[in-house]
Every structure is written in structure tokens, then in C-alpha cells.
Amino acid sequence: MTNIKKVSELAGVSTATVSRTLKSPEQVTEATRDKVMQAVKQAGYRPNWLASSVKSGKSNSIVVLVPNLTNPFFLRIIGGIEQAAQEKGYSVLLGDTQGDSKRENEYAGMVLSNRADGLIQLDHSFPFAPQDAELADNVPMVSVCERIEGERKYPVIELDNYAASRALAHHLVGYGHQKFAAIVGQISSQIYRERLAGIRSVLQEENLPLPDEMLVGGSYTIEAGIDGVRQLLKQPVRPTAIFCFNDDIAIGAIHEIKKHGLRVPQDISVVGFDNIKVSAFIDPPLTTVDQPAYDMGRRAFEVLSVLMRGESLTRIREILPFQLVERQSSGPAR
């Protein structure tokens, strides 16, 4: 390893001068600067990042906790985080938790041991182990989409899930639908409650029912969509419109509906949530709510960045705009 000492010897100066030449060149004469730079080049020297970091006490890294790496929606968020982080000289440590709290604990612990300076949580759980909770008190942490559970309020970048669900519900009610069903995501989450509440509020206003047996599902996967439709089609009354709590579910649902010889949207309308890329290209193209995932990621980093600087926030909840994207998977009720 070529270290600063070797370079200083090569250039015939002290290590301090080498360090200054690289970090604040204006403090150094042109002559010595040249000497040093040449020695640096000759030795192929790169400052040891670990060493600088111990000194500064900052790792310039953040951890991102993802419940499921294969979800393209999360990917867009991560892309946004990554981009924003890069611009500010931060790097991103990826933690695929698979919803497993042990792994969450482990990754979250990185912030406690100075391996990272802050944390972005894409899931809704408080990621630290119970015994670390106190320590974690002044850890910069931000969540995206979901709100972190617990008494302590952490900043969150989210969508108005209630309003977005209302928009979807209005859209379907506008088509004259009366028999609704929903294939929901993870039940323990805030998102689940808000989206369901949004749908319910519209249906109540219109005096339309959403009976319990029309609520199925439990995870944000294609398989959940398939299973969900199977269950729904076993019921005596067939729904004419299905709310899917994300696009993956909707993709599974549409697939299964067609498999039963029914048509989308003529027999059953399907709407999703997220607007992942592929949703525009399936058959029929999916009506869904667009979330500005990339921007949410960017914004999450920016907010985290403020916290990491030790400043405080004016707003703890940031709500980004959604957009209803009407495509061909929804249509008039028969």
C-alpha cells in the first residue's frame, strides 16, 4: 500500500504538506504543489478513505433498508436515493431485509457503529433491535412511503394514500361499478389502512358495500394477485371491479382473471397502485396511480442529509403528488 508517508518522502516534504496539497491546494506554493503532485502520480497514491473517515468521524455512507429488492417500485426509489447521494459524495449501503427483523437489526446497527451516518427505511418497522432503541434515539432516519412504527415520529416522504385511493374509487364509481373487491397488501402497514380507508370513504358516500369476503390478499406480490382472484371468484357474487394494492398484485390478478375466461375490463375492471414501468405494456394496460418514486428517493436523501448535518426540519411529513393514470384495465360496468 502506498501511503501518505511514502509520498511525502518521495516529494521531500512532510505528510502535512502532502495532505494540504490534496485537500486545500491554495495553502501550498506552486513549486511544492508540483513536487507533491508528481510524487502522488509516481507513487499512484490515493488517500485511504478509511483513515480520513476515522479522523472526521463521518463515513459518508447511508444504509437503505429494502423489504424486497425484486419490487421494481422500490428500485426506482433506490435509484433516486442513489443519485442524490452520489451528488453529495455519499455512498449507499444496500440492505435487503426480506422483511426479517434480524436482518433489519443487523443493518440498522451499522449506523450505531459508524459504518454509516444515516438510514432510510422503505418498510414500516422500527429497524433497530429493542436493546438498541435508546442508542438509536439520535440516529438520522427517514422513511419513504411507509411510516415508521413507534412513538417517536421520524420524517417521512409519502403519498397521500387516502386521496389517491379516493381518486381510484371515484374513477371506478364513475364507470358505474357497484360490486367491489380489493386485493390488499401487507395488513400491518400504515399504507394498508390509509388506502382501505380512502376506498371505504368513497363507497360509503355512494352507499356502496365492500363486504369482508371481498377483501383478500396480504402481500405485495404477483402470487397474491393470483390467489386473490381465485378466492374472489369462488364467492357467490362476482365483483365487477377490483382494487389491487399495488401493480404486481394487479398483474397477477389480470393474469388469473383471463385464465378463468373472463375479460378485463368488460367483465372485471382492475386498478393497481405504483405505476411500475411494465404496467403500461401488459394487456390490457393497467389503470393505476403514479407515484413519483424517483423523486421520493431523491427527496428522502435530501431530508436525511439535513438531519445528518445536525439541523432540524421544519416539516416532518412531506407529501408528494400522485397522478391517476387511466388506461384500459378499467372500464364501464356491465
Partner DNA sequence: ATTTTAAATGTAATCGATTACAGTCTGACT
Partner DNA sequence: AGTCAGACTGTAATCGATTACATTTAAAAT
Residues of this chain that bind DNA (CB under 7 A): 1, 3-5, 12-17, 19-20, 22-23, 26-29, 31-32, 45-48, 51-52, 54-57
The closest of 265, 255, 72, 270 to 168, measured between CA atoms, is 270
86 binds, among DNA, a copy of itself, none (CB under 5 to 8 A by kind): a copy of itself
Binding mask 212-251 for a copy of itself (x = CB under 8 A): ----------x----------------------------x
Distance CA 193, CA 146 (A): 11
Residues 6 or more apart whose Cβ sits within 8 Å of residue 180: 172, 199, 203, 208, 209, 210, 214, 239, 240, 241, 242, 243
20 binds, among DNA, a copy of itself, none (CB under 5 to 8 A by kind): DNA
96 binds, among DNA, a copy of itself, none (CB under 5 to 8 A by kind): a copy of itself
Question: Which phi and psi (to 5°) does residue 120 adopt?
Answer: -120, 125
Residue 172 Rama label (left phi>0; alpha psi -120 to 50; beta): alpha
Residue choice 27, 42, 91, 266 for contact with a copy of itself (CB under 8 A): 91
Check: CB of residue 212 under 8 Å from CB of residue 278.
no
Element (H, E) at 80: helix 72-87
> Judged by CB, which is closer to DNA: 29, or 204?
29
What count of other Cβ atoms lies within 10 Å of the Cβ of residue 299?
20
222 binds, among a copy of itself, DNA, none (CB under 5 to 8 A by kind): a copy of itself
Q: Which residues bind a copy of itself (CB under 8 A)?
A: 1, 44, 46-51, 53-54, 57, 59, 61, 69-70, 72, 75-76, 78-79, 82-83, 86, 91-96, 103, 106, 109-110, 112-115, 134-135, 222, 251-252, 255, 258, 277-278, 281-283
